[in-house]
Amino acid sequence: EDPSVTRDRRAEVSGELDRAMAEVDLTYAEDGLAIFAAPGEHQVWTLSRSVPERVVLSDTFLTRNLVAAQAAERPFWVLSVAADRVT
């Protein structure tokens, strides 16, 4: 327990985690799940790649796995050119 974090603040983050977990639908889950919680906010992300299990307590979100997964899923366009057609 960190003495610099008040009981109210811990309860608020715990409540955000509860709300985040209520949003998780394992029917649509992918290979990984990232949950971010802070006082007054939470985010739930499903990822198409597995991520290591971990809990991080910090003043910022650890988004490394989220950024890597999003970068790997960037859409791309392909232009195919032949002498008689373009697709």
The pLDDT value recorded for residue 22 is: 96
Coil, helix or strand at residue 33: strand
Domain count along the chain: 1
The residues, ordered by sequence, that sit 6+ positions from 5 with a Cβ below 8 Å of its Cβ are none
Bridge-partner residues for 43, per DSSP?
36
65 belongs to a structural domain? yes
pLDDT at 82 over 70: yes
Coil, helix or strand at residue 32: strand
Gap between the Cα atoms of 80 and 87, Å rounded: 5
49 belongs to a structural domain? yes
Domain housing 31: 7-72
Q: What pTM was estimated for this model as a whole?
A: 0.71
Residue with tokens 């985690």: 17
The pLDDT value recorded for residue 16 is: 96
The pLDDT value recorded for residue 87 is: 64
34 belongs to a structural domain? yes
User: When comparing pLDDT for 56 and 18, which is higher?
Assistant: 18
pLDDT at 86 over 80: no
